[in-house]
Structure 1
Amino acid sequence: MLAILISIALASLDTAIANTALPAIATSLHTTPAASVWIINAYQLSAVATILAFASFGGTVGHRKVYLFGLVLFTLSSALCAMSTTLTQLTLARVLQGVGASAIMSVNGALIFSLFPPEKLGKGMGLNALVVGMSFAAGPTVASLILSVADWPWLFGINIPIGLVALAMAIPSLPHTPPNGQRFAWATALLSMLTFGSLIYALGEGAQFADALPIGLALLVCVTAGSVMIRREIGHPAPLFPSDLLKRPMFTLSALTAICSFATQGLAFVSLPFFFETVLGRDPVQTGYLMTPWSVVVALIAPFAGRLSDRYPPGLLGGIGLAVLSLGMLSLAMLPADPSALEIGVRMVICGLGFGFFQSPNQKALMTSAPRERSSGASGTIATARLLGQSTGAALVALSFGLSSHAGPVLALYIGAGFAAVACLASFSRLAARNLG
């Protein structure tokens, strides 16, 4: 379990560092804030495009092999990120890094599911959320400390020793899960990559107000490839795209809740560094410290929420948490013109409290509403929902910047509050869905 948690921490720490340092990277590479969002989008595009394929492949060859491959690729691509000197080079390196992170995250839930009995799964998901929260909490601080003494390439260089340590621990300790006996559908995997890759590309280009033709072509590819993929898997006992699981109301509502809530997180964590620096006039080091309270509170509350989910319905816990998150996002958007660090910190704590109360109960709901033999599909759905939500959030931040370079960050916070409200409604709907099976 320790090796799994370290690997999760590696991917989460990198995401938090990249989000916090985005303004500094944009300045160094002489690019605009809207264009620099592709440093985030490239990572998320490649991760979303490949994650269901990796989840299915993990069921076919064993989750351990996919996990180790992802860890090696993530570490190597981090070195490429550190050596990049242009936006194009960094974006391409982030694509590879996203593929590595996708392999890690695609089987993460299934590995945890194999280690904990059903009655203690909430505890396992709570530990997972704790590590993710602690990594996100450390990310802004680590970014601030590094930027205060070194240039941005060192932000990615820090992944290399962590990755090597994680690999040394993972090789002897990761559990061996038996293959599911199904053949891996290469053609379906390619269709899945085309479907989700073109979708995220269309979102990113649309947010940048690109020409209608490439956006339309990307959406056409998404719809066509997705339709063919779903038709190919009709009647398959373990489809790569979890259409069988999405027929379960609890599973579908939990996935919708995750997408909307992680869209809120994406909107917040991409827009807030620009908000603090360009609107409020804070420097990068101060920005890192101001970003920290949200993730610290998530780390503290997640294990408690995970244990509660073993006793109370995830729909209730998640609904309460997401209502708090929506109010926290509104309070950030309505900050006074010259707020103190305390005023900002209190609002970040409110957001962290709400998000932390949702995260681990929702992960448990997704895993337990699927049959054990479909743990790969459920694990892939958890990671897909998270990345799809974060990608949507990042794209909407770019759209907000395109609409108004000065008011864009505040607009993004209002949009995030709306997504959290939708997630809240979806979560409470699960209380009724429990009676539908």
Structure 2
Amino acid sequence: MANKQTNPTWVLVLTSLGFFMAMMDSMIVTTASTAIRNDFGISVGELQWALNAYNITIAAVLLIGVAIGDRIGHRRLYNIGLFIFVLGSVFCALSSNIDFLIASRVIEGIGASVMTPMSMAILTASIPPSERGKALGIWSGIGGLALIVGPALGGLIVAKLAWQWIFWINVPIGLVGIYLSQRKLPETQLEGNHLNIIDSILIVLSSAGIIWALSESTSKMIQTSTLIVGVLSIVLGVVFVLRQRYEKRPMIPLSFFKSWTFSGGVISTFLLYASMYGVVFFLPQYLQVADKSNALIAGLQLLPWTGTLVIVAPIAGKAVDKFGERLVAITGLLLQGIGYLWIVLTSVPGSPYWLMIIPLILAGAGISMAGPALQKAALGSVGRAEIAKASGIYNMFRLLGGAVGITVSVILFYAFGDIVTTTAFTNGFSAAMIGSSVLSLLGILSSVGLRSTLVK
């Protein structure tokens, strides 16, 4: 409960700011990726960690961040998260090599992992129930706006300044946010939530290790160290699952997965975002390498895809209520898969960009439909008291799916192409797009058994 009178407008603005920044930094890097790769002289396989380090860190720290916030106060942890995020952004901007950038992205991810849940907690506790639904809708919409603005803004910054400025821009905004949040946001907290540090360490080591081992398998000869890391990571994952089975207050209650609607929902979410992030990683690079677009133009060329979210998302929400989660999720996954396959047919060096517009719109409509349908299915399958933890698990699967999707795309890229020539890059890009399409279509299989809740 909020402990002082507050201005709802300030609460909405300041909590949305942190959410927007966290979401923005998962997308703004995409159109800067070619500039980063050229500047550091690195491979696509190394470049993927500039995105994966951020997403994996958020996924691993997300649930423990919620528990810490309930103990020390949501506003306090929100401001700590903002400060860590700003510090990570400074280190990212100062990075002189890919290793330093990856480490800095981990720091950013730690900050972002608490900014998002704390912003929602503060907003929920501070806004009157009669206005809460509207406020959460605006908050979610601002986060979605980051997905649209991110690639174009990243392209603009790279074209007019340098890629380092995609991180420098966070510093003044974040510092102003900390100053205002300390003065305008109420402190809210709940007592006694369980801190599960060991499980958080296990999940970050397991997920990062498995994804690293997968990424290293792109080489012709798989090293012994890669196999060792892969096996150890799987063992850590098994230990994590066993701990969830026997702990009194597990980080991820396995009882949730007894419901196929929850299991199918999070599995399909994993595949949906694995499919999307593989394309997020490669499409801006393809537009700059094969189509010779600069970073700004490439960002704008993504708008038929990302901009569709604004148009379709409200319609998709109503469609879920009318037709049920299962039908809308399956339709969305199908549209995304078809869209990506269609893009492959247009991926010929020298082909006009306009041929890509319709499949981009289809793919954008697909994710706009499937995302909310799967979220509603998964969260609607648990009790009201368990929604917060279920939401954390849902977001963890979403982020880990994105990281795995990028890695799978990189593996396919190097299996069929390379960065040496435009033709080789196009061949690799086409393979990655086909892989992303298959991931989306696989999500249909795990969505078939979803229970639908219709609004009469």
Q: TM-score, normalised by structure 2?
A: 0.85
Q: CA RMSD in A?
A: 3.0
1:352 aligns to 2:364 (yes or no): yes
1:354 Cα deviation from its structure 2 partner: 1.0
More divergent stretch after superposition (313-322 vs 368-377): 368-377
1:43 Cα deviation from its structure 2 partner: 2.0
1:413 aligns to 2:433 (yes or no): yes
**One-letter code aligned to 1:419:** L
**One-letter code aligned to 1:358:** A
**One-letter code aligned to 1:317:** V
| Alignment size in residue pairs | 433
Query: 1:369 and 1:346 mapped to 2: Cα distance?
Result: 35
Query: 2:180 and 2:372 mapped to 1: Cα distance?
Result: 25
**One-letter code aligned to 2:266:** A
- Structural mapping, 1:303-382, within 5 Å: 303-335=314-346, 337=348, 338-382=350-394
**One-letter code aligned to 2:32:** A
Query: 2:216 and 2:128 mapped to 1: Cα distance?
Result: 44
Which SS does the other structure have where 1:241 is aligned?
Answer: coil
Query: 1:364 and 1:110 mapped to 2: Cα distance?
Result: 19
Q: 1:380 to 1:177 in 2, by over 3 A?
A: same
Q: 1:209 to 1:261 in 2, by over 3 A?
A: farther
Largest Rg, 1 or 2: 2
Q: 1:134 to 1:58 in 2, by over 3 A?
A: same
Which SS does the other structure have where 1:430 is aligned?
Answer: coil
Contact map agreement 1:255 1:385 (CA 8 A) in 2: yes
Contact map agreement 1:74 1:98 (CA 8 A) in 2: yes
| Structure 2 residue corresponding to 1:156, chosen from 167, 173, 182 | 167
Q: 1:372 to 1:271 in 2, by over 3 A?
A: same
Query: 2:135 and 2:437 mapped to 1: Cα distance?
Result: 29
**One-letter code aligned to 2:26:** T
Query: 2:374 and 2:126 mapped to 1: Cα distance?
Result: 18
| Structure 2 residue corresponding to 1:383, chosen from 389, 395, 408 | 395
Contact map agreement 2:69 2:189 (CA 8 A) in 1: no
Contact map agreement 2:85 2:109 (CA 8 A) in 1: yes
**One-letter code aligned to 2:224:** L
| Structure 1 residue corresponding to 2:55, chosen from 44, 49, 65 | 44
Q: 1:217 to 1:377 in 2, by over 3 A?
A: farther
Q: 1:243 to 1:58 in 2, by over 3 A?
A: farther
Query: 1:231 and 1:148 mapped to 2: Cα distance?
Result: 50
Q: Which has the higher contact order (CA 8 A, sep 6+)?
A: 1
1:369 Cα deviation from its structure 2 partner: 2.1
Contact map agreement 2:31 2:152 (CA 8 A) in 1: no
Query: 2:282 and 2:231 mapped to 1: Cα distance?
Result: 30
| Structure 1 residue corresponding to 2:283, chosen from 244, 252, 272 | 272
- Structural mapping, 1:121-160, within 5 Å: 127=138, 129-160=140-171
1:395 aligns to 2:407 (yes or no): yes
Query: 1:385 and 1:131 mapped to 2: Cα distance?
Result: 22
Q: 1:133 to 1:280 in 2, by over 3 A?
A: same
| Structure 2 residue corresponding to 1:223, chosen from 225, 230, 234 | 234
1:163 Cα deviation from its structure 2 partner: 2.3
Residues 187-229 of structure 1 deviation map (CA, whole Å, 9 limit, x = unaligned): 3333233222322322333345674423322233323223333
Residue aligning to 2:80: 69
Query: 1:235 and 1:121 mapped to 2: Cα distance?
Result: 37
| Structure 2 residue corresponding to 1:302, chosen from 306, 309, 313 | 313
Which SS does the other structure have where 1:234 is aligned?
Answer: helix
Query: 2:128 and 2:139 mapped to 1: Cα distance?
Result: 15
Query: 1:174 and 1:412 mapped to 2: Cα distance?
Result: 47
Query: 1:117 and 1:249 mapped to 2: Cα distance?
Result: 34
Residue aligning to 1:284: 295
Structure 2 runs not aligned, ≥5 long? 1-11, 419-423
Structure 1 runs not aligned, ≥5 long? none
1:270 Cα deviation from its structure 2 partner: 0.4
Residue aligning to 2:15: 4
Residue aligning to 2:27: 16
1:144 Cα deviation from its structure 2 partner: 1.9
Question: How much identity, in percent, do the aligned residues show?
Answer: 24
More divergent stretch after superposition (5-14 vs 248-257): 5-14
Q: TM-score, normalised by structure 1?
A: 0.88
Contact map agreement 1:146 1:154 (CA 8 A) in 2: yes
